Amino acid sequence: MNRLNGKVAIVTGASSGIGRATAKLFASEGAKVVVGARRKAELDSLVEEINAAGGEAVAAAGDVRSEEYHQALVATAVDRYGKLDIAFNNAGILGEAGPSTGVSEAGFAEALTINLTASFLAAKHQIGQMEKNGGGSVIFTSTFVGYSFAFPGVAAYAASKSGLIGLTQALAAEFGPKNVRVNAVLPGAVDTDMYREMNDTEGKQSFITNLHALKRVAAPDELARSVLYFASDDSSFVTGTASLVDGGASITRT
Ligand SMILES: NC(=O)c1ccc[n+]([C@@H]2O[C@H](COP(=O)([O-])OP(=O)(O)OC[C@H]3O[C@@H](n4cnc5c(N)ncnc54)[C@H](OP(=O)(O)O)[C@@H]3O)[C@@H](O)[C@H]2O)c1
C-alpha cells in the first residue's frame, strides 16, 4: 500500500487487460491516475471501480495514433492533478498476422504506428512535463516475441515491439541526467483479450502455456505488479532495461 502516494500517472490501454489491472493497482497504491484508450464506456466503468475503492482516477478517451491525444492526456494530468510522475505506455495491437509474404504494407505500418510511433509520441510529451517536476518514470509494454522468442506469422508485431527496446535505451540515455527513468516490460503470455484472440483453441492455449517454465500464462495483475516496481521508487536506480516478465519462457526448451 501507498508505494505511489502523491504520484500522478497516465496509463494507456487501460480499457482492458494489463492496462486495466495496472491502473487499478496504481490507484490502490495511492497514485492519481489518468486512464486512456478508445472505449470510453470501459474507461468510465474503470474510473467508477477505482473511485468506489477509495482511489482517484479520470478517463480521457482517444486514439494513441494521434499526437494531440498524448498532449491531451498530459494536459489532463496537469490540469486535474497538478503534475505528471509516471507514464505506462501500454496500448498495443497484434496487427496483421499470417505468412509474412502476404502481409500488406498498410498492415505492417499500422502495427508500427500503434505499437512504436505512438509510444514515442507519448513519451515526447510526457518527458517534458516530468522534467519540470524533477523527474519521473516512463514504462513501455514490449513483449518476449521478437526478443527472446520468435513465432512465425507475427513479423509486424515483433518488429514494432522490439523497436520499443531501442527507443527505451535511447530515451533512458538522453533523459537520465534529468532523472527521467525509462524501462520496457516484456511480458510472456498474459490471459487477456489479445491472448484469447490469438489463441482461440484449447490446442493453441496448451501450446503457449507449455512454452513457459511455470507451465501457465500470467494473470494481468502479475504484470501490473511488475510495472508497479518500475513506476515506484523501488526501481530508483533502474533505467534503460528490457525486463522479461515471462514465466521463464526464455530459458525453457521443453
Ligand atoms: N496478452 C499478452 O499475452 C501480451 C504479451 C506481451 C505483450 N502484450 C502487450 O500488452 C499490451 C496490453 O495488451 P493486453 O494483453 O492487455 O490486451 P488488450 O486487453 O487487448 O489491451 C489492449 C489495449 O490497447 C488499447 N488500444 C489498442 N489500440 C489502441 C489505439 N489505437 N488507441 C488507444 N488505445 C488502443 C485497447 O483499448 P481500446 O480498444 O479501448 O482502444 C486496450 O486497452 C499490448 O501492448 C500488448 O502488445 C500482451
Q: How far is the CA of 82 from the centre of ligand 1 (A)?
A: 27
User: HSE of 71 in the Cβ direction (CA atoms, 13 Å)?
Assistant: 3
DSSP 157-180: HHHHHHHHHHHHHHHHHHHGGGTE
Measured from the Cα of 43, ligand 1's closest atom is: 40
Q: Return all residues near 149 (Cβ < 8 A) that are at least 6 apart.
A: 211, 246, 249, 250
- Ligand 1: distance of its center to the CA of 37 in Å? 9
* CA of 43 relative to ligand 1 center, distance in Å: 13
- Banded model confidence at residue 254, pLDDT cuts 50, 70, 90: confident
pLDDT in tens, 9-31: 999 999 999 999 999 999 999 99
Angle at 9 between CA 7 and CA 14, to 5 degrees: 145
How close is the Cα of 32 to the center of ligand 1, in Å? 21
What is the amino acid identity at position 238? V
Atom of ligand 1 nearest to the CA of 17: 16
Q: Which helix (H) or strand (E) holds 47?
A: helix 40-52
Ligand 1 neighbours, Cβ below 6 Å, are 13-19, 37-39, 42, 63-65, 90-93, 114, 141, 143, 187, 189-190, 192-195
How far, in Å, are 89, 102, 189 from residue 110 at the CA level?
17, 15, 22
Task: Determine the atom of ligand 1 nearest the C-alpha atom of 18.
Answer: 16
pLDDT confidence bin for 239, thresholds 50/70/90:
very high
- Dihedral Cα 128, 237, 221, 251, nearest 10 deg: 120
Mean pLDDT of 110-119: 98
Ligand 1 centroid distance, CA of 232 (Å)? 22
pLDDT of residue 223: 98
State which ligand 1 atom lies nearest to the alpha carbon of 13. 43
157 is catalytic: yes
**Which of the residues 81, 157, 195, 229 is marked catalytic?**
157
Residue located nearest, by CA, to atom 23 of ligand 1:
13
Q: Best of 139, 194, 195, 246 to mutate for ligand 1, by most ligand atoms within 8 A of CB? A: 194
Summarize the confidence of residues 117-138 as an average pLDDT.
98
| Closest protein CA for atom 34 of ligand 1 | 37
Q: Which among 163, 196, 188 has a CA at the least distance from the CA of 251? A: 188
Q: What is the pLDDT of residues 39-64, one digit of tens each?
A: 999 999 999 999 999 999 999 999 99
Q: Tell me: the pLDDT tens digits for 63-87?
A: 999 999 999 999 999 999 999 999 9
Instruction: Let me know if 94 is exposed, middle or buried by CB neighbors in 10 A (0-12, 13-18, 19+).
Output: middle
Closest CA to 183 of 132, 129, 138: 138
Domains in the chain (CATH in brackets) are 8-190+219-247 (3.40.50.720)
